[in-house]
Amino acid sequence: MFMDESLDVVGLQTSWKKTHPQAHDSKICQTNQVHTAEVETQAKFFSENGTQTDPHECLADPFLLDRDLSSDLPGLKDFLCRVEDMVIEELVKNAKSHAFDGFEVNWADQNQTVLCLYCLGYPDARKKGLQVTSVSWNCTGSVIACAFGRVDDGDWSTESSCVCTWNLDRRNLNPNQPDMVMDVATPVMCVSFHPKRPSLIAGGLYNGDLIIWDTSRTQDPVLAQTGMSPDAHREPVYEVKWVPVAHRGHLIVLSACSGGRVLLWSLDGVEGKLTLNSAYALVSQQLPQTTAFSKLQTKGGINIGVTSLTLSPWDPDTFLVGSEGGLVLKCTFSSQTVAAVPSDGESVTLHAPAQFSFSPRGGPIHSLHFSPFHRNLFVSVGTDGLAHIHSILQPRPLLALRVSDSYVFGVRWSPVRPLVFAAVTGQGLVQVFDLGHKSLRPVATIDQKTGGQPAYCLEFSPQQLLAVGSADGTVNIWQLSAELTEQGPRETAILEQLANEVAE
39-69 pLDDT per residue, tens = 776 656 667 777 776 655 544 444 444 455 5
**Best CA proximity match to 427, nearest among 443, 403, 401:** 403
Phi and psi at residue 334, in whole multiples of 5°? -90, 10
- 434 has pLDDT over 60: yes
**Best CA proximity match to 148, nearest among 178, 126, 167, 171:** 126
d(CA 426, CA 413): 19
**Best CA proximity match to 301, nearest among 272, 254, 340, 275:** 340
pLDDT at 273: 84
pLDDT at 103: 67
What's the domain range around 470? 120-499
Task: Read off the pLDDT of residues 362-400 as tens digits, 9 standing for 90 and up.
Answer: 889 999 999 999 999 999 999 999 999 999 999 999 999
253 belongs to a structural domain:
yes
- 242 has pLDDT over 80: yes
Which of 111 and 240 is assigned the larger pLDDT?
Answer: 240
Q: How confident is the model at residue 157 (pLDDT cuts 50, 70, 90)?
A: low
For every residue of 228-245, DSSP letters joined together read S-TTS-SS-EEEEEEEEE
Out of 224-228, 334-338, 395-399, 405-409, pick the least confident.
Answer: 224-228
155 DSSP 8-state letter = S
Q: How confident is the model at residue 16 (pLDDT cuts 50, 70, 90)?
A: low
Is the separation of the CB atoms in 262 and 256 below 8 Å? yes
What residues have CB less than 8 Å from 222, skipping those under 6 apart?
Answer: 182, 211, 212, 213
Phi and psi at residue 91, in whole multiples of 5°? -65, -35
- Please state, for a pLDDT cut of 90, what percent of the chain lies above it: 53
pLDDT at 298: 39
- The upper half-sphere exposure of residue 323, i.e. CA atoms within 13 Å in the direction of its Cβ, equals 27
Instruction: Work out whether the CA dihedral 278, 284, 285, 289 comes out positive or negative.
Output: positive
> CA 130, 252, 313 angle in degrees (round to 5)?
85
**Element containing residue 57 per DSSP (H, E):** helix 56-60
d(CA 185, CA 108): 50
**Element containing residue 60 per DSSP (H, E):** helix 56-60
- 23 has pLDDT over 70: no
Average pLDDT of the chain is 84
The count of structural domains within the chain is 1
pLDDT at 343: 75
149 belongs to a structural domain:
yes
Q: How confident is the model at residue 106 (pLDDT cuts 50, 70, 90)?
A: low
**Best CA proximity match to 465, nearest among 180, 166, 179:** 166
What residues have CB less than 8 Å from 176, skipping those under 6 apart?
Answer: 120, 121, 122, 123
**What residue type is 68 in one-letter code?**
D
- 15 has pLDDT over 60: yes
For residue 292, what is the domain's CATH number?
A: 2.130.10.10
Instruction: Work out whether the CA dihedral 224, 228, 229, 234 comes out positive or negative.
Output: positive
**What residue type is 12 in one-letter code?**
L
Task: Read off the pLDDT of residues 250-305 as tens digits, 9 standing for 90 and up.
Answer: 689 999 998 889 999 998 767 778 889 999 999 888 888 654 454 444 344 477 88
What residues have CB less than 8 Å from 131, skipping those under 6 apart?
Answer: 148, 149, 150, 151, 152, 456, 469, 470, 471, 472, 473
- The upper half-sphere exposure of residue 136, i.e. CA atoms within 13 Å in the direction of its Cβ, equals 27
- Specify the length of the chain in residues: 504
- 405 has pLDDT over 50: yes
d(CA 379, CA 7): 130
d(CA 288, CA 81): 88
- 75 has pLDDT over 60: yes
> CA 251, 253, 254 angle in degrees (round to 5)?
155
- 309 has pLDDT over 90: yes
- The upper half-sphere exposure of residue 74, i.e. CA atoms within 13 Å in the direction of its Cβ, equals 1
- Please state, for a pLDDT cut of 70, what percent of the chain lies above it: 83
d(CA 22, CA 32): 34
- 177 has pLDDT over 50: yes
What residues have CB less than 8 Å from 328, skipping those under 6 apart?
Answer: 320, 321, 322, 357, 358, 359, 360, 361, 365, 368, 380, 390
101 belongs to a structural domain:
no
- The upper half-sphere exposure of residue 480, i.e. CA atoms within 13 Å in the direction of its Cβ, equals 30
> CA 467, 464, 133 angle in degrees (round to 5)?
20
129 belongs to a structural domain:
yes
134 DSSP 8-state letter = E
d(CA 187, CA 390): 33
- 2 has pLDDT over 80: no
Out of 95-104, 167-176, 178-187, 273-282, pick the least confident.
Answer: 95-104
Q: Are strands 273-281 and 350-351 parallel, antiparallel or unpaired?
A: parallel
Out of 109-113, 188-192, 228-232, 319-323, pick the least confident.
Answer: 109-113
CA 452 from centroid of its chain's CA atoms:
28
46 belongs to a structural domain:
no
For every residue of 77-123, DSSP letters joined together read HHHHHHHHHHHHHHHHHHHH--TTTT----TTTTTT--EEEEEEE-H
Which of 173 and 450 is assigned the larger pLDDT?
Answer: 173
Q: How confident is the model at residue 19 (pLDDT cuts 50, 70, 90)?
A: low
232 belongs to a structural domain:
yes
Q: Are strands 429-434 and 420-425 parallel, antiparallel or unpaired?
A: antiparallel
161 belongs to a structural domain:
yes
How many other C-beta atoms are found inside a 10 Å radius of the C-beta of residue 213? Answer: 24
6 belongs to a structural domain:
no
**Element containing residue 203 per DSSP (H, E):** strand 200-205
